[in-house]
Amino acid sequence: MTTQTFETLAARTLGRRTLLGSAAAALGTLAVPGFAQSAYPSRPVKFIVPFPAGGPVDTTGRAVAQKLSELWGQQAIVDNRAGAGGIVGAEIAARAPADGYNLFVCSIHHSVLPSLKPRLGYDIEKDFVPLSFGAMFPVVLVAHPGVPVKTVADIIALDKRTPGQLSFGSAGNGGGTHLAGELFNMQAGTRLLHVPYKGSAPAMTDLLGGQVQFMFSDAPTALPQIKAGKVKAIAVASASRSALLPDVPTVAESGLPGYEAYSWAAFMAPAGTPRDIVQRLSADIGRALADPQVKQRLYDAGAEAMPTTPEAFGKMLHTEIVKWTKVVRTADIKVD
């Protein structure tokens, strides 16, 4: 990902002043030696990933952990604790010692869960301290080749001509790709019917088979089918065009200004983790994400590396929670 692309994406999400502050803070942390920098880490550091191995959040965690092992000369271990859509791992991480040796790789799910599951056994904002945003996974609006649309405007017009007959698939009820579709309905005034699947792969299979007309897909699932010409890329859901699909317009520039949706992974630690260790971790995670090999590994997985300061990610997380709470309530989304 180019520097210009990163600045555009990050500035829209976090604010240009915050972005510049991120770089300054990270450099300052690296330049000033302190107790935590000399003594930490003295033993293996665990990254708790609340999803199975092989997914985008796991890939982000592993890419960063591997680079940190090299930087530290100390092992960084990925511990997959999947279950309940990310809840199990979050609960384990929230109860872990706040000593800098137990970290948490969170995702967009953890900004949506508070509105879907009001009785969670943890509070993502109170029980954790932010370290850094990690990677953004673009969401792509794709269509079956047989659907007579090329643009967002075409979809809106077709929906008005055939009300209640068009549907979109997602990776699951209440997930990021589902919410991207509901946000589209809210802003476009469409009534695309949501069809949930147990993962992106079966949703894409039914899109290819014509059982649904559209899909708000994560980039790793969509890219191979787009390149093979099996689905049509209509628009990317992020605020700016993606380096992964530079010729595909955004939903916002296609007639829905302000529309923005994407999946992401980020890094946190249990609340109470010492401030100097938080700053050290944030700076080192930033160094890992800026490494060309790590950036390429994430790019190949359909992600764009985007490190920030703890403060910047904390603000972004709160904004995401507020935004998706509104969507969940407006669309009256229910989950088991």
Give tens-digit pLDDT for 308-322.
999 999 999 999 999
* pLDDT at 3 exceeding the cut of 70: no
pLDDT of residue 313: 98
Task: Decide if pLDDT at 24 tops 80.
Answer: no
Give backbone dihedrals phi and psi of 214, rounded to 5 degrees, phi first.
-135, 165
**Mean local confidence (pLDDT), 122-137:** 97
Res. 247 pLDDT band, cuts 50 70 90: very high
Tens-digit pLDDT profile for residues 256-290: 999 999 999 999 999 999 999 999 999 999 999 99
User: According to the model, what pLDDT value does residue 336 have?
Assistant: 73
Task: Look at 137 and 14; give whichever has higher pLDDT.
Answer: 137
Q: What is the pLDDT of residue 38?
A: 54
Higher pLDDT, residue 101 or 19: 101
Whole-angstrom CA distances from 306 to 60, 222, 267 are: 11, 21, 11
pLDDT digits (tens, 9 = 90+) for 169-183: 999 899 999 999 999
For residue 55, the model assigns a pLDDT of 87
Read off the pLDDT of each residue in 117-128 and give the average, rounded to a whole number.
96
Task: State pTM to two decimals.
Answer: 0.85
Please provide the DSSP assignment of 180-239 as one string: HHHHHHHHHT--PEEEE-SSHHHHHHHHHHTSSSEEEEEHHHHHHHHHTTSSEEEEE-SS
CB 321 within 8 A of CB 109: no
Tally Cβ neighbours within 10 Å of residue 226.
19
Pairwise CA distance, residues 140 & 101, whole Å = 36
Do 215 and 176 contact (CB within 8 A), yes or no? Answer: no
225's torsion region: left (phi>0), alpha (psi -120 to 50) or beta? Answer: alpha
Give me the sign of the Cα torsion angle 288, 243, 85, 311: positive
Cα–Cα dist 70/122, whole Å:
32
Cis peptide before 41 (omega within 30 of 0): yes
Is pLDDT above 80 for 13?
no
Over residues 20-26, mean pLDDT: 41
Tokens of 185: 């309905």
Instruction: Determine contact, residues 133/231, Cβ cutoff 8 Å.
Output: no
Smallest CA-to-CA distance from 213 within 147, 164, 156, 140 is with: 147
* 39-57 burial code (b ≥16 CB/10 A, e <16): ebbeeebbbbbbbeeebbb
99's torsion region: left (phi>0), alpha (psi -120 to 50) or beta?
Answer: alpha
Mean confidence (pLDDT) of the chain: 90
Residues 72-110 have pLDDT tens digits of 999 999 999 999 989 999 999 999 999 999 999 999 999
* Lookup: tokens for 252: 């916002």
